[in-house]
Amino acid sequence: EGGELLGEALAASSGGESKNAVLTVEKRVDALPEIERPAILDFAAALADRGQLALDAERIRRRIIRELPRGNEAPSALLTLARSLTERGEAVDEAKTWLEKLIIEYPRSALVPQARQELDRLQGRIPRS
């Protein structure tokens, strides 16, 4: 089921229908087993990024964080969401919150050093490179 949905989304995205592909995945993902959902949603967020649909990607990552925090994709969703918010120059305080959440709730994640560096930069402790 999940593989079929991914295939459909990828085909639609390749045909220039990124927005429709992302929305289709979001609508149909709840019918999949919970264990498959984080990876499928992460794929949809990546499709949204590739289609320059930043707000859609952010919405999907928030959904992963909120609904599927035990999935392996949650730390990545937190870091990527924080970066997206700061790249657009919006919601820097929200970005800091997501980075702190990653550091505190996923201390064994390989992404913690990156989150710490991003947080230090946002707090003015290190200059932007």
Q: Is the pLDDT of residue 80 over 60?
A: yes
Start-to-end CA span in the chain (Å) = 43
Span 34-66, pLDDT tens digits: 999 999 999 999 999 988 999 999 999 999 999
Contact between 16 and 53 (Cβ < 8 Å): no
Return the higher-pLDDT residue of 127 and 21: 21
Q: Are residues 55 and 89 in contact, defined by beta-carbon separation less than 8 angstroms?
A: no
What integer pLDDT is reported at residue 88 of this predicted model? 82
- How many angstroms separate the CA atoms of 40 and 48, rounded? 12
Phi, psi (degrees; rounded to nearest 5) at 23: -65, -40
- The pLDDT, as a whole number, for residue 127 is 63
64-68 long-range CB contacts below 8 Å, 24 or more apart? Answer: 64/38, 65/98, 65/101, 67/37, 68/34, 68/37, 68/38, 68/41
**pTM for this structure?**
0.86
